[in-house]
A and B are shown apart, each in its own frame.
Chain A
Amino acid sequence: MNKKFVFAFLIAFNLSACASLRSVSLTSIPADRKKQVEARASRIIIFGLNFDNDYVERLVDDLKYQCPSGKVAGVLTKDEVIDYFLMIVHKRQVTAKGFCVDQDKT
């Protein structure tokens, strides 16, 4: 019984993730906040080996795709680290949220 409990505890401990916030930025928020758009880019990093940060660059294209004829304003950019498995594996995640505003209302 005790062994099973310890095993389950270890599994739960290792699979659970701790998130920490690295940076946040926010641009001017528009009056028209009806349509929200969101894009997310992430990368799993093992043993801290990361060779480039190019995954971040597609966020703008994702936001543009969701708002094809307007302006994305009030952009909140959140950069966070999520630690897995004794911090040997972690995920770097950048989230960008904003409001799609019609061309005339900008």
Chain B
Amino acid sequence: MNSTQKIYSKFLLSISIFVLPSCAQLHHVAISDIDARKNESSRPIEIKVSELGIDFKEASSAAKLLTNKRTQQQIDTVQEIISLFQMGPTTGNRVFTEGYAYKVPLLLQEKCPGGRVTGITSIRETRKYPVLSGEIVKIKAFCIGK
């Protein structure tokens, strides 16, 4: 790598450090039936649940920069073993507990106790940071009633 390439790589790295942390990736959107009748007791509610995600490819690339050749080979082996158990369609990065989205109905009930929830917009998105990510499920809706 010559000096010009080094300058370019440093420039790209510094830009990516500042820009990538705020990248938001949309995976899925769904909108439910909407009760559009004018109702004074209607109020907007919002719920957000998230879990820490890890990009194993980026993590192993970062680890390789700091280790010797033998350790790099071991990292490759570990990554291949992990990838054998990670099959099927996914959205975003891997998380350690997949149950974080199960509590959404309970949280909706807490936000709108005894009321009717309508106009539900369900958003599944990822907030991308270097190596790590925030795997987010966001719900926006209207609570009619109490």
Contact = CB atoms under 8 A, between A and B. Distances in A.
Q: Is the interface of B mostly helix, strand, loop or mixed?
A: strand
B123 A63 contact: no
B70 interface: no
Interface string A11-52: 000000000001101011000000000000000000011111
A2 interface: no
B63 interface: no
B31 interface: yes
A50 B140 contact: no
B31 A77 contact: yes
Given A57-B140, A59-B121, A60-B140, A52 B33 contact: no
Contact of B119 (A25, A60, A74): A60
A71 B119 CA distance: 10
B36 A56 contact: no
Interface of A: 22-23, 25, 27-28, 48-53, 56-57, 59-60, 63-64, 67-75, 77, 79, 92, 94, 96, 98, 100, 103
Contacts of B38: 68-69
B29, B30, B37, most chain A CB atoms within 10 A: B29
A95 to B, nearest CB: 10
B37 A27 contact: no
B69 interface: no
Interface string B66-109: 00000000000000000000000000000000000000000000
